[in-house]
């Protein structure tokens, strides 16, 4: 693979800024915007007759460097906090189950996505029909995940999570990215 290639402006946008981690739900919302942009890049890869190497590299970098940590933010912190704070009338269990199913499908496809893109980048081959079909599935699960979360989970989280919940979520998201605790939040009760 040519490691000198860059992602390119406008092909998948930029990762959410770490400055936004003080507002973790906004950070997650930005991550979803990023996912939506990457899905559009995947659509372009699927439709292109020959491999767009910069687009393939942008998607490969996203799945290797950004997606896993986003999924962990939600599975390990956001979802448990929601289960803790939501009442029966919020009825989030069904939505959460559907979202988790799409997340699981995304996770299961990750090795195939990596192998297809890295393989094409290494050999210069175009994506095969089966690889294009697999990427179509991957983008569909990502889109369902982010649409349901934006429409259902994030609005409920904004209403139900306490300030302490948000600080905990922010601290765990910072730690997951190897960042020191936010100095403004240290020793805050
Ligand atoms: Fe998400």
Q: Is residue 185 part of a domain?
A: no
Q: What is the mean pLDDT of residues 124-133?
A: 96
Q: What is the mean pLDDT of residues 83-94?
A: 87
Structure letter (DSSP) for residue 152: I
Q: Is residue 10 part of a domain?
A: no
Domain encompassing residue 61: 21-176
Q: Is residue 99 part of a domain?
A: yes
Q: Is residue 5 part of a domain?
A: no
Q: What is the mean pLDDT of residues 145-157?
A: 93
Structure tokens at 24: 């973790």
CA of 45 to the centre of ligand 1 (A): 22
Whether the pLDDT of residue 61 is over 60: the answer is yes
CA of 181 to the centre of ligand 1 (A): 23
With beta carbons less than 8 A apart as the criterion, state whether 38 and 106 touch. no
CB atoms within 10 A of CB 35: 23
CA of 6 to the centre of ligand 1 (A): 25
Q: Is residue 143 part of a domain?
A: yes
Q: Is residue 139 part of a domain?
A: yes
Please write the tens of the pLDDT for every residue from 159-188. Answer: 999 999 999 999 999 999 998 887 776 544
pLDDT value at position 90?
79
With beta carbons less than 8 A apart as the criterion, state whether 34 and 20 touch. no
- Give the integer Cα–Cα distance in Å for 17 and 97: 29
Model confidence band, residue 73 (pLDDT cutoffs 50, 70, 90): very high
Task: Write out the residues surrounding ion ligand 1, Cβ under 5 A.
Answer: 149
Instruction: Say if pTM beats, i.e. exceeds, 0.95.
Output: no
Buried (b) or exposed (e) across 116-148, using 16+ Cβ within 10 A? bbeebbeeeeebeeebbebbeebbebbbbbbeb
Q: Is residue 8 part of a domain?
A: no
Give the residue with greater pLDDT, 18 vs 10. 18
Count of structural domains within the chain: 1
pLDDT value at position 69?
94
Classify residue 58 by burial, with Cβ atoms within 10 Å: 0-12, 13-18, 19+.
buried
Whether the pLDDT of residue 6 is over 70: the answer is no
pLDDT value at position 146?
92
Percent of the chain beyond pLDDT 70?
A: 90
CATH number of 119's domain: 1.20.120.520
pLDDT value at position 185?
65
Q: Is residue 45 part of a domain?
A: yes
CA of 154 to the centre of ligand 1 (A): 9
CA of 140 to the centre of ligand 1 (A): 13
DSSP 124-183: -PPPPHHHHHHHHHHHHHHHHHHHHIIIIIHHHHHHH--HHHHHHHHHHHHHHTTPPPPT
Whether the pLDDT of residue 60 is over 50: the answer is yes
CA of 39 to the centre of ligand 1 (A): 13
The alpha carbons of the chain give a radius of gyration, in whole angstroms, of 18
């Amino acid at each position: 693979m040519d490691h000198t290639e860059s992602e390119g402006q406008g092909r998948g946008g930029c990762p959410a800024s770490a400055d936004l981690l003080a507002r973790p739900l906004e950070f997650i919302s930005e991550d979803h915007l990023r996912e939506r942009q990457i899905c559009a890049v995947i659509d372009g890869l699927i439709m292109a007759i020959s491999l767009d190497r910069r687009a393939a590299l942008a998607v490969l970098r996203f799945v290797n460097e950004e997606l896993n940590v986003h999924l962990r933010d939600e599975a390990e912190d956001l979802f448990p906090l929601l289960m803790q704070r939501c009442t029966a009338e919020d009825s989030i269990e069904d939505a959460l189950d559907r979202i988790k199913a799409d997340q699981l499908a995304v996770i299961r496809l990750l090795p195939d996505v990596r192998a297809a893109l890295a393989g094409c980048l290494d050999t210069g081959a175009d994506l095969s029909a089966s690889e294009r079909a697999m990427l179509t599935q991957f983008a569909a699960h990502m889109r369902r995940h982010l649409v349901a979360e934006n429409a259902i989970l994030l609005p409920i989280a904004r209403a139900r999570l306490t300030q302490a919940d948000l600080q905990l979520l922010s601290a765990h998201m910072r730690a997951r990215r190897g960042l020191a605790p936010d100095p403004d939040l240290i020793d805050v009760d």
